[in-house]
Every structure is written in structure tokens, then in C-alpha cells.
Chains A and B, each alone.
Chain A
Amino acid sequence: MIEPASSFFQFFSFFERAIIAYVAAINAIYFFLMVLGFFALRRYRDGLIPEDREALLRSPLLPEITIVVPAHNEELSICESVKALLNLNYPKHDVIVVNDGSTDDTLRVLIDNFRLCRSAGHCDGALPSKPVRAIYRPRGPIRLTVVDKEKGGKADALNAGLGFARSPLVAAVDSDSLLEQDALMHVVEPFLQDPGKVLACGGIIRVVNGCSVEHGKVTRISTPRAVLPLLQTIEYLRAFLGGRVAFSFLNSLMLISGAFGIFNRKALIEAGGFLSTTVGEDMELVVRLHRRWRERKKNYRIVFVPEPVCWTEVPESWKVLHRQRNRWQRGTVESLAAHRHIILKARFGVLGLFAMPYFVLFEMFGPLEYAFLFFVVSILFGILLSMSAVVLEEFTMRRYPSVADLLRLLAAAIVENFGYRQFLTVWRVQGVWDALRGKRGWGAMERRGFQRRAADRTAKDRRRFQRRAADRTTMERGGFQRRAADRTAK
């Protein structure tokens, strides 16, 4: 009897230690990344000053940038977005909107607002995409191209847009994102500091909920009033200022947000463009770039600029948030699974030995592990406590004489932890909330009464006997009748 209990407690002790080790590891890594991010940020702050940027903006030596905007059913917002992109504070940029098989009036809105007409355009066909139906350009000097193509998803639309881009740098922007006026200037800096080496660059994405927006520009910055966007604001801050600066410093940045990222066009085409079979095309591309360049042993950088460059709208309902996070997590899992061979391979450097394992352990399985560990721990503790109570009852009071009752109680001690206790917790939290709100009264309570329960039992027993008797009679009668019928037939 002692051995199983001892092994159970040994397992439990091991489990406890594993949890402590996990929590300690994740906190140590977060702390390390935070400190590294702090010093890297300070180093970044010693770079250019606003006057330098003004001088840069005046220069014709700045590289041209093509902004590719995939749009699917965006008739309500596309016009404002394109106007804002065309008015960005950068001397040499053009915009390519890829209408990805919209079923609404996205294309019509663009044609009407920018006076577009059908045009000739040469796609270099470097990346495969769904067939292009037509190309539209404005009559005037506006540097806008609209590519109308069959529906193929965001990645496919970006690939199609890349075929029409002529600039050495290409920015991928979501049509519902708003860029800061100097966003292009900020993200182009690493390409100038390390020409030829920088493959991609991204910046801080901020939450636009709660801010005032006029003509595609954020005119007043404010925190969201609603709770859910406010929580996401904190989450975005932590994600962008904590981890990404440090990972960028280690040249192991695994994600450049799909909302806004800028890429070296040549490198992007060499890597094969965006992958349309995954929902996390942004992360997959960045990991693929890392992988290809490290495999070729080339010197390269993928950079994160700690400057606010893009504003995005975050979900305000739990349902949409749930859908978004589900998609993100699927994207992470798909990207990591696709490049699993990098993990713990020394030739991939910090990426293989630290960044990928970190993402697998804490980002991919993190939620699962956390949820699983907490669930298992709470269940185990719950079962232990309930069983202890039963054991205590048995050792002291012994009010339940039969073994069947004892076994039933032990079974209940296990079962009650799956659902019942969770419901109780929810109701208790509700009770606290109601108490804080000052709710009074008992509430309707249905009591059946002890006597009635006994009467019920008697009546139930009587009914059960009657039913059984009736069933038996019917069966017997049925049997007799069937047998009689069989006999007649014979």
C-alpha cells in the first residue's frame, strides 16, 4: 500500500519542481530580454536626430519604396487608406493596391475616387500568383497602381503586387492600418546604415482604438476607453518594447508584423515571396529569410526599429479577439513546424539555439503548457483535498457504514473536480461581484423538502415496480403472441 502512494508523491514532487523550473526559466529569459532590450534601446537612441532625418528627406539619394496593399472587400476604408499612404512623408514612394477578388465595390470605389483607367503593366512573374484580370492607373501624376486579380488570399495578393513593384524596397501594409507620417523614413534607416545586408525591417505597431483619426492620420492619441482594447494596448507595448528589441539585437527576430513591414525586394524574391498556404505568412517569411541566409552563410540582418510606425485597430469583442488569436497561434505553429529543422542546430547560431527553442517552448506550447499545467495542478490538488476529507471522515466519524458508499464518495471526490468545482468558482466570483454591486435579497430558491423527497422516493419506487411489472407482462405477452404467430405460420 505504501509504494504506490510514495511513487504518486514522488511524481507529484517532480511535477511541482518541473513547474517551478518552467516558471523560473520563462521569467529569467523574459528578464534577460528586457535588460538586453533596455541597453539596445539606449544604443538606438544615440543614432539619428530629427534634423538628420529632415536632411535625409531632402535627398534624392534615398531609395525608392513601393507600398503593396492587399485589399479584399475593403470598400468602406480603402479610399482613406490609399490617400493616407500616398501622402506619407517620403520623397520617393508609390502605392500598389492589389484587389484580391473583392466581391464588394472595392475596385469601383478606387476607380471613381482616383480617376483610374485601364493600363498596360508588365509583371516580371518572379513569384507565382493567381491570374491578374486588369491593371489600373490614374490619369494624373499620382503614383498609384491598382492590380485587379482573382482571389488567392493575402500572401498571394502580396506576391502579385511584388511582380509590379520596380523599387529596391517593398513595404507590405494592411489596408486597415494607418502609417505614421515618418514611418517609411524610420524603417528605411537600417537599409541605409547597412546597405545590402538588411533584408527586412519592422517597427512598433500601436493600438488606434481610442485615438482620433482624420483623413487617414492619427490626430489625437489616447488610450482606449473599452477594457478589451486597453488590455491589448498593454500587451502590444510589452510585446514590442520587451522582446522584439532584444531579438532584433540578437539578429533573431522571428516576426515582422504583417500590418507593416519593409523588405529588400531582391531578397524577398530570392526567398520565394510570401507563402499562401499558411495563415501566418508574415512570421513564416521572416523565419524563411533567416534560414536561407544562414544556410548560405551570408552576412545579413533582420531589424526591428523601436519607433512607432503603424496604428492598427484591435478587436473590441471577445469573439473577434478569440478568432484573431486563434489565427495567430495557428500561424506560429505552422511557421515553427515548417522550419522545425532549425531548432537546436548550432549552424543557425542564436536563431537555432535560442530563438526557435524559445518560440517553441514559450510561444507555441506556452499557452498549452500553462493551461495544461495549471489545470492538472488544480485538479490534482482538488482531488487530493477531497480524498483527504473522505479519509478524515472514515478515520474519525465513520457515518457511512457500507464500502459501496465509501467508494462512491471517493469517485465523487475525483469527478467533482471536472466541471462541478469550476462552476462553483464561477458562481462564487459572481457572488463577490454581486456583493460589490450591493445586490440584496436571497433570490428564488427551490426546496423540495425532506418528507416530500421520501414520498417522492416511495412514489418513484412504486412507479418503477409498476413499470417493470408492465414491461414484463408486455414482454411475456409479446413473446407469447410472437410464438403463437410463429406456430401458426409453421
Chain B
Amino acid sequence: MISERTAHVVVFAKTLAACAAYAAAIFLADSVYFAKRFRARELSIGVSVAFVQCAVIFCMLTFSFLKKWIDQVRDRNAERLRPRIRELLAKYAAQSVSPAHFIELSQTNASAVEACLLESLRAVRGSGRQAISRFAGEIGLHLKWQKEYGSRHISRRKNAVARLALLSRDLSGDTLRRALADPDESVRLHTARAVLQNCHPGEAGQIFRLAVEGSDITRIILSEELRPYILELVTEAIPTMLGSPDSKKVLCTLEILHAWGKFLPLTGIYPLLRNHSAPVRAAAFRLLALLPRLDSLNAEILHGVSDSNPAVCCAAAGAAASVGLQAAVPELARCLHQNDPRTALSAAQALARLGAEGCRMLEKETLNGSPLASAVALEALESARTSRHEMVGAS
């Protein structure tokens, strides 16, 4: 991945180059023209600065207007041809027309054909798509996009992989594999999403690994895109990651599983309840409600509630409430008196969810507890009442 530092250096280098070019232009304008016209040095430099600034603004405006105009003209021309190209493509996909009709058209109106072809690739599935993909190969579009992927501009690389992912893997496979290991993370993310649109066996596991090893933003986006492949991932990719010695990878895997919120036939999570890393333990406790129940879990949860780490304690309290562990009430009541307000609040909320016994404990605390305990107990009782109201309202 291009580090943030390198990206900074590149931007700085570009800025300095632009400033140097600007200074050079001023110097040139001054020495070639203005210094001869104005005797005062300050005046000639001032006029040169003003002249260069005006010229730059004028050139930029002209360029942008020209570009807009050319784009509009090109769009207008392409719009006229599109119905005919679409018709030919549909016929080609239905194998009722030979590719020769197209070859000539694609040579004279390459951009219009490319746009229509992409449109069709996104819309069509099955044999029709394969036929269009083959045609794209015949007119050499896959080579053009592969070349575009070699660009140093990130946006161009992204566009190229988005297009290549629409083609059959024999045309695009190698480039896509390279793109999944692109130095820039946003390109990798883009490729992964594009590949998942038309995923082949084994690719989901590779992208899951990318999600686990990527930044938070990559993980969040890919975890949503990987939802349809959960069952495939549960067999191999997820257990591999859960068994990793790198606790960061394990934590990221647990976060993705939590985001999916599905019941998972995984057993590799139980040992993590005693992991040396507190964030991993906390994440594992948060997942307990989504795992098959084991008898030994109650003892683990009680152990978690008495954990010295507040995050683990909060997660274990939540797990106790989720599995309805009444035996945890005394331990949770003890947590109410801890100095950490978050632990106290989590314990109070868990007690409120544990039914009559938990609520009785909270009521007792509101009357006799410390200021913190009574405040959090009152808040938890009220939120429990509100959620009961909501449930009644919903039913």
C-alpha cells in the first residue's frame, strides 16, 4: 500500500513544482518583457506577477470551457449512435448477427461502442454476458483496460478494474489478481467489490483476507459485500483467521462476524474467551449470543464479568443478559459499585434485561446504592421500561 507519508510527499512535490513553475514564469515575463518597459524594479516585478496570474487563470478557464464543450459534442454524437449499437449488441448476444458488423463501428466510434458494451455487461447475465465479454475481447477492449490499469492515476486504475471485473476471468483474471494486491488500498477495495459482483469459487476467501488485513473502512465495506458468502467462508477462511497468532487479525475477524449478526456454526471462538488480549476477549464475549450454547459457557461468562478489564467486563455483562444467566446477578450487582461509570452502566443494563430478579436488585440500588450506582440503576430501569413499551407497541 502507498503509505500516507509517500502520498504526502507526492502532493508536496507537485505543489513545490507548481510553485517553482509559477516563479519561473514570473521571472521569464519580467526579464523578457516587463523589465525593459518599466524602469522601477518593484513595478516591473509586480506587473509580471499580475500578468502571469491573469494568464494562468485565463488559460485554466479556457481549458475547462473547451473540455466541457468537447465532452458535450462527443456525448451528443454518441447519443445518436447508441440505439443502433444497443440493437446490434442485443442481436450479437442472441447470436443472430456476426461480429463483423461491429468491428467497423467500433473502429470509427470506439467510445460509444465501449459505453454501450459496458452498459450491456452490467445488465446481462449468463450466456449473453459471456458472448458480449467475448466480443469485448475480440475488439481488444480487455487489452485497453489492462493498459489503463498500468496508469499511475488512481481513478483510472479503479475504472479499469471495474470494467475488467465484468469480463470473463480468462480475459481479466491476471490483472484482477494484481489489482487485489495494488499498492493503493482504495484500488484494492474497488477491485474486491468489483470481483464480488461476479465472484468465482475461492475468490471470496481471498477477499475476506483482504477485509481482515485492511483498514477499518475497507473492513466495514467488505464485510457488507461478503454477506452472501458467509457459508462458504465459515468452512475455511474464518477458522484460519481465528487461529491466527496475530491478535489484530483475530479481532478484525470477530468484528466482521459481529457485524453479520448471524448464527454461526463456529467453535473456534470459545478458546478466545481466555485470550491474552483484552479486546479479543471482549469481542468474543459480544459474539456469544450468536454461537451454539455450551454448558461450560456460564462459568466463562461469570469469569468474564469479574475480569479486571472494563471492556471485557461490559461485554461479559452483555453476554450474561443475552443468554439469560440469572447466576450472574450478584456479580453484576457488584459491578454497579465500580468506579468506572461505563462498567456500572453496562452492569445495570444487563441486570435490567435479566428480568424480575435483576430489576429488584436495581430498585434496591436506587434506594440504597452510591450516587453513581443509584443513577445508573435508575437509567437502566427506565430504558428497560421504554424498551418494553416499544415491544408492546410493535406487537
Contact = CB atoms under 8 A, between A and B. Distances in A.
Interface of A: 20, 27, 31-32, 35-36, 39-40, 43, 45-49, 51-52, 55-56, 58-62, 119-122, 124, 137, 139-141, 166, 189, 192-193, 195, 249
A122 B217 CA distance: 32
A139 B386 contact: yes
11 contacts: A36-B11, A39-B11, A43-B7, A46-B155, A46-B158, A51-B193, A61-B219, A61-B220, A121-B375, A122-B341, A122-B345
B390 interface: yes
A56 B42 CA distance: 56
Interface stretch (B13-21, B105-113, B172-180): B13-21
B266 interface: no
Nearest to B21: A35
Contacts of A36: 11-12, 15
A52 B188 CA distance: 13
Query: Chain B interface secondary structure, helix, strand, loop or mixed?
Result: helix
Given A27-B49, A119-B382, A122-B345, 9 more contacts: A32-B15, A39-B14, A39-B18, A48-B186, A59-B221, A61-B255, A61-B259, A122-B375, A122-B379
Contacts, number: 102
A135 B155 CA distance: 50
B378 A120 contact: yes
Contacts of B379: 120-122
A68 to B, nearest CB: 18
B375 A120 contact: yes
Contacts of A195: 215-216
A32 B259 CA distance: 44
B143 interface: no
Contact of A52 (B154, B221, B386): B221
A46 B10 CA distance: 14
Contacts of A39: 11, 14-15, 18
Interface in B329-374: 341, 345, 372
A56 B155 contact: no
B189 interface: yes
Given A32-B15, A122-B376, A56 B220 contact: yes
Nearest to B190: A49
B217 A192 contact: yes
Contacts of B216: 61, 192-193, 195
Contacts of B14: 39
Nearest to A301: B4
Contacts of A27: 49
Contacts of B341: 122, 124
A56 B154 contact: no
Contacts of A166: 345
A55 B381 CA distance: 35
A68 B44 CA distance: 55
A149 B186 CA distance: 46
Contacts of B8: 249
Contact of B22 (A31, A140, A141): A31
A59 B378 CA distance: 31
A35 B56 CA distance: 12
A55 B386 contact: no
B154 A46 contact: yes
Contacts of B258: 60-61
B220 A192 contact: yes
B223 interface: yes
A51 B46 CA distance: 48
B84 to A, nearest CB: 30
Given A36-B15, A48-B186, A193-B215, A58 B389 contact: no
A479 B255 CA distance: 105
Given A59-B221, A193-B215, A141 B390 contact: yes
Nearest to B23: A28
Contacts of A120: 375, 378-379, 381-382
A46 B14 CA distance: 16
Interface string B196-225: 000000000000000000011101110111
